[in-house]
Structure 1
Amino acid sequence: MPKVTVAKCELYNELAIDMTEDEFRDLCFEFGLELDDVTVEKTASGKEEVFFKIEVAANRYDLLCIEGLTQALRVFMGKQRMPEYQLATPAEPLTMTVEVATSQIRPYVVCAVLRNLHFTENSYNSFIELQEKLHQNICRKRTLVAIGTHDLDTLSGPFLYTAKPPNDIKFRALNQSEEHTATELMSIYSADVRMKKYVPIILDSPVYPVIYDSKGVVLSMPPIINGEHSKITLSTKNVLIECTATDKHKAQIVLNTIIAAFSKYCENPFSTEIVKVVYSDHEETTPVFLQRTMKVDPTYVNSLIGIQISIEKMSELLEKMGIYSSIVDGKLDVKVPITRTDILHPCDVAEDVGIAYGYNNIEKILPKTLTVGKEQPLNLVSDLLRVEAGLAGYTEILTFVLHSFNYNYSLMRRPLDGLAVEISNPKAFEFQLPRTTLLPGVLRTIASNTKQQLPIKIFELSDIVVKDETMDVKARNQRNFSAGYCGHSSGMENIHGLLDILMKKINLKWKTDYRLVPSENPTFFPKRQAEIYVKDQKAGIFGMIHPEVLQNFGIGFPVSAIELNIQLIA
């Protein structure tokens, strides 16, 4: 979950409160936040200051800066009403023309202007930090949306958004001392610790996106870097915000989030100037402040939360959450503000009613059912076997579910059996398929611990995945138990003894309920292995591991192992 770090004194000043840390922690909890940590840090002036680290929901983009956070809390505490955001339309609005070439790489752009803005050092830093948090969150590290903010007084409209070959783009990038071509900049940023993660987004494209003003000054080369010419400073008064994107809807959310947080600092608070965006086939103005409406049944809200309150009370509670509503034909006509992009369904409205009502105020009652929960039989047997294996001196391990074909088959001397579910586009060679056996994980763990004191006695009880045409997804999970014994001697009698202990504990009797049958599995040594049958169904195998398999895994001592299908004995 994202965390917002704010200075305690600044936060308390904005909220006009004087609370203890515990009281503020309770306030956060009531609002659905969490005060995660309290730290003391030195500021740039060398003075020690208390900072709160507040954890917010991942889809509450409006709370990612102190401006949005304090506004939401003030509304919740009844100290202000949710502001109404206005669009200003000048006689000749600024224009951003989008050329067709951008469709090859980042086809959309949305813009807005904040006029007569007054920055302080704190609000300026917050403005920069919000952009970075949005880049890491909804923007998906700039792959979906890239934000550019510019000092409008240093530029001349109209603006042009186009895409050109990298060698045709040359400008002085932010914090650079001289001009570079886009190709040179990509080389520079490939070695930059902070910037290199963004380079691959457009590196292999034949054209790079770029924004110019009417004099040919480069504003930015999204999603990599802005130009030095139009950078924002403390003295900036008029700010042009442009968000280029591959996802237009996300771009509008990002733009509205920035506007909602910082338009309060404008001479005309909560007012934003529009920009005309001209595409080859149509024109539009941005930002878009369309207020979504939603019909919500109060009966649904009461039943979902487990309370009984009037529709009028619901409307009051929603106002505490910054949501205005009216009552029409016995239902709530909810008006979703631009800051609440997390509200998508009536259940989201019900959640806000529950938060405002106070979850601690909901009466606790017994559910009106006759069912009693209990542990699944498979999990019950699994836990029992874990305890018994531990009492027998075996240590439980937990290995990766994903293997390579090499580990699952070749190194185990197993032929391809068609049971493996292959991953079509694995991120790494090591993770090509979900395991069909637990034994490779056991052997890899032994191989990594052969310098430890012998014997090594380990086990794993977990799921494997095998193909199954009878299932709707054509595959199923299967709970298996596997154990390995590595010592100076084979230890096969130890594995056999472990098998007998486990069977006894789940009331399976030798010969009556389970029996052993000679086998010829290539993973195990010939004549030193046996298949385990439970009520005439093959349930597993145990024996000495074949020397070639031990050599493949780099194990220099004999190993005996067992693998058992728990679902056949649960």
Structure 2
Amino acid sequence: MPTVTVKRDLLFEALGRAYTDEEFDELCFEFGLELDEITSEKAIISKEQGDGKAEGASDTVLYKIDVPANRYDLLCLEGLVRGLQVFKERINLPRYEKIMPAKGEGQRLIVTEETAQVRPHAVAAVLRNITFTKERYNSFIDLQEKLHQNICRKRALVAIGTHDLDTVTGPFTFTAKAPSEIKFKPLNQSQEYTASQLMDLYRTDSHLRHYLHLIENKPLYPIIYDSNGVVLSMPPIINGEHTKISLNTRNVFIECTGTDITKAKIVLDILVTMFSEYCEKPFSVEAAEVIYPNGKTHIYPELAYRKEKVKPEFINKKIGISETPSNLAKLLTRMCLKSHVTGNGNNIEIEIPPTRADIIHACDIVEDAAIAYGYNNIQMTIPKTYTIANQLPLNKLTELLRLDLAAAGFTEALTFALCSQEDIADKLGMDISETKAVHIANPKTAEFQVARTSLLPGLLKTIAANRKMPLPLKLFEISDIVVKDASTDVGARNYRHLCALYYNKTPGFEIIHGLLDRVMQLLEVPPNQENGYMIKATEGSAFFPGRCAEIIAKGQSIGKLGVLHPDVITKFELTMPCSALEINIEPFV
């Protein structure tokens, strides 16, 4: 959950009254927030850097408030105060207005086709005749950073640029150029740099170095400049010093560029709705025109209001209350969702404002009604139906087998469900295409590229990490493996496997075979061909030729056992012979 830090006195001034810490904590709880910490700048520095560094720091009391990750409208003081005031019914929810400038006078942002390779989308708007104070300015900058870390996914999806409109001349152009062709003075720097030099400059910057990877390997870098060639920004890295906003800025040009147009529109809506209250005409935003390479034009911000209808009985049933439609409409209105009863009272019409991008489904509306009603006010009731909880049969079988395999002298291991492609393919003498493995789209490390299709690699790696332990090493694991299956809704299926290994100076095939017989004895599966189990010779890429058997039970193949191939043992950095057994236990449930 994002944490919003606000000055207590400033917050209480905006709310129009003072609270004790306990009262404000209770108010936050009622509104679905959490007062996480009460501290000060001095206390924070003292805690992080020691008392010596905290000398001279401010003693102003700070509230750290945890906000739900999808409530982008509560990430700044302005939105927080507005939400709480509407919740306490002290003010009505403001109506946000998009002002269309006279023809030829509005700002235009021209997007060129070169941007398609890096950041193809852009939106823009103008906050006209805004008045900044030091606190408002700091809140404006802080909100941008909160959005960057949250919905913008650290600028990967959207990057925000804010500029003093009076220092530049439209129309603006959003294009992409080779790094050597880009040269400008970046924010808070005294000289001009090329884009390549900027990358080197910011490689050691504690803040900006985290964003360099987004474009540094691209042949072209995105750039925004005005009609005179003045650079506004190089998204998603840095703005230009020329258009830096200050306390004296009266007109702010906001541009959001990104790879996700939906997120970009949400970010722009949040920024302008939060700070348009400081404009000469409160809650009004000047529209800007964005012209795309195909010639189509779009007017932003959208500031779209939409209506949803929900039945009162649906809300009552989901929450477990019995409120009248008019009361439910009142509860929703307190949550910034203006509502009224329609028809014969069998529907509630809810208007979703542009600040509430988190309202996607009727269940989101029900949740807000429950928050406004108060979770502590919902009466506890005994369910009208009762059930007796029971363990899933597969899990029960797994637990019973674990106990008996441990009693047989084997040690249980729990290995990672993700592994590398090499572990389940190359090291076992297979091609990755034969494994039906589920691949991770964006693996953070080469060790976790795919979901395991066998428990064998995990146990072999466990033995490799413990090979200095006294011999023999006898390990087992009963866990799920994952394989692709086009017949399921998610395209993959889990199977519960049992895998056991015996590692010693001799292969110990008879010990693994004996363990299989013990497992079948416990499962009451007799050793015969008709209705029991049997093994027959087969070949497997991971096993020594002539030392591998397929296990047939209940008329189907459930796995293999045998002596592992020396190449497999060597690839897992082992030096002794090893026997293995791996079967699917689901047919025995």
TM-score range, shorter chain: 0.7 to 0.9
**Aligned counterparts of 1:487 and 1:73: Cα–Cα separation in 2:** 69
**Unaligned ranges ≥5, structure 2:** 46-53
Distance 1:434 1:45, change over 3 A: same
**Aligned counterparts of 2:571 and 2:551: Cα–Cα separation in 1:** 26
The superposition leaves residues 452-473 of structure 1 with CA deviations (integer Å, 9 ceiling, x where unpaired) of 4555443322222345676677
How far did 1:41 drift?
1.0
* Alignment partner of 1:80 out of 64, 86, 91: 91
1:95 aligns with 2:107: yes
Deviates more, 1:462-471 or 1:246-255: 462-471
Deviates more, 1:307-316 or 1:493-502: 493-502
* Alignment partner of 2:189 out of 176, 184, 202: 176
1:4 aligns with 2:4: yes
The superposition leaves residues 227-267 of structure 1 with CA deviations (integer Å, 9 ceiling, x where unpaired) of 01121234434322222344443322211211222233445
How far did 1:174 drift?
1.1
**Unaligned ranges ≥5, structure 1:** none
1:554 aligns with 2:554: no
1:135 aligns with 2:135: no
* Alignment partner of 1:165 out of 156, 173, 177: 177
Does the aligned pair in 1 maintain the 2:424–2:435 contact within 8 Å?
A: no
Quote the residue 1:32 is aligned against. 32
Quote the residue 2:19 is aligned against. 18
Does the aligned pair in 1 maintain the 2:413–2:475 contact within 8 Å?
A: yes
How far did 1:322 drift?
1.3
Question: Where do 1:286-365 residues align within 5 Å?
Answer: 286-329=300-343, 330=345, 331-365=347-381
Question: Where do 1:269-280 residues align within 5 Å?
Answer: 269-277=282-290
Distance 1:35 1:496, change over 3 A: farther
**Aligned counterparts of 1:101 and 1:417: Cα–Cα separation in 2:** 38
1:41 aligns with 2:64: no
Quote the residue 2:535 is aligned against. 517
How far did 1:377 drift?
1.3
Does the aligned pair in 2 maintain the 1:421–1:465 contact within 8 Å?
A: yes
Q: Which amino acid aligns with 1:41?
A: I
How far did 1:316 drift?
0.9
Q: Which amino acid aligns with 1:98?
A: I
How far did 1:136 drift?
2.7
Match of 1:344, SS? coil
Deviates more, 1:77-86 or 1:144-153: 77-86
CA-based RMSD? 3.6
Distance 1:429 1:274, change over 3 A: closer
**Aligned counterparts of 1:69 and 1:25: Cα–Cα separation in 2:** 14
Quote the residue 1:249 is aligned against. 262
**Aligned counterparts of 1:328 and 1:67: Cα–Cα separation in 2:** 32
How far did 1:346 drift?
2.7
Match of 1:348, SS? helix
Quote the residue 1:106 is aligned against. 120
**Aligned counterparts of 1:45 and 1:77: Cα–Cα separation in 2:** 38
Distance 1:127 1:386, change over 3 A: farther
Distance 1:72 1:393, change over 3 A: farther
Does the aligned pair in 2 maintain the 1:106–1:209 contact within 8 Å?
A: no
**Aligned counterparts of 1:353 and 1:568: Cα–Cα separation in 2:** 47
Does the aligned pair in 2 maintain the 1:543–1:562 contact within 8 Å?
A: yes
The superposition leaves residues 41-98 of structure 1 with CA deviations (integer Å, 9 ceiling, x where unpaired) of 1379424566554433332111222332233233223343323334455667442241
Does the aligned pair in 1 maintain the 2:480–2:497 contact within 8 Å?
A: yes
**Aligned counterparts of 2:266 and 2:516: Cα–Cα separation in 1:** 60
Quote the residue 2:68 is aligned against. 57
Distance 1:505 1:68, change over 3 A: farther
Distance 1:394 1:181, change over 3 A: same
* Alignment partner of 2:428 out of 412, 417, 424: 412
How far did 1:439 drift?
0.7
Match of 2:253, SS? strand
**Aligned counterparts of 1:474 and 1:81: Cα–Cα separation in 2:** 48
1:149 aligns with 2:162: yes
**Aligned counterparts of 2:58 and 2:471: Cα–Cα separation in 1:** 57
How far did 1:552 drift?
2.0
Does the aligned pair in 2 maintain the 1:96–1:158 contact within 8 Å?
A: yes
Q: Which amino acid aligns with 1:18?
A: Y
**Aligned counterparts of 2:539 and 2:62: Cα–Cα separation in 1:** 63
Q: Which amino acid aligns with 2:125?
A: C
Does the aligned pair in 2 maintain the 1:93–1:274 contact within 8 Å?
A: no
Distance 1:398 1:52, change over 3 A: farther
The superposition leaves residues 396-433 of structure 1 with CA deviations (integer Å, 9 ceiling, x where unpaired) of 312233441x4324423458894524649775765665
The superposition leaves residues 448-491 of structure 1 with CA deviations (integer Å, 9 ceiling, x where unpaired) of 22234555443322222345676677753211011224355655
1:67 aligns with 2:78: yes
Does the aligned pair in 2 maintain the 1:108–1:247 contact within 8 Å?
A: no
Q: Which amino acid aligns with 2:19?
A: D
Distance 1:300 1:169, change over 3 A: same
Q: Which amino acid aligns with 1:411?
A: K
Distance 1:452 1:13, change over 3 A: farther
**Aligned counterparts of 1:497 and 1:17: Cα–Cα separation in 2:** 76
Does the aligned pair in 2 maintain the 1:420–1:433 contact within 8 Å?
A: no
Quote the residue 2:50 is aligned against. none
1:459 aligns with 2:467: no
Distance 1:64 1:44, change over 3 A: farther
Quote the residue 1:118 is aligned against. 132
The superposition leaves residues 173-197 of structure 1 with CA deviations (integer Å, 9 ceiling, x where unpaired) of 1122211233433444456453344
Does the aligned pair in 2 maintain the 1:534–1:569 contact within 8 Å?
A: no
**Aligned counterparts of 1:186 and 1:352: Cα–Cα separation in 2:** 45
- Taking structure 2 as the reference length, the TM-score comes to 0.83
Does the aligned pair in 2 maintain the 1:111–1:274 contact within 8 Å?
A: yes
The percentage of counterpart residues that share the same residue type is 43
Quote the residue 2:454 is aligned against. 437
Match of 2:208, SS? coil
**Aligned counterparts of 1:278 and 1:257: Cα–Cα separation in 2:** 22
How far did 1:546 drift?
3.6
**Aligned counterparts of 1:245 and 1:457: Cα–Cα separation in 2:** 54
How far did 1:276 drift?
4.6
Q: Which amino acid aligns with 1:349?
A: I
How far did 1:501 drift?
5.3
Does the aligned pair in 2 maintain the 1:102–1:161 contact within 8 Å?
A: no
* Alignment partner of 1:541 out of 560, 564, 568: 560
The superposition leaves residues 91-144 of structure 1 with CA deviations (integer Å, 9 ceiling, x where unpaired) of 674422415446535343322224232222x43333222212212332233343
Distance 1:420 1:116, change over 3 A: closer
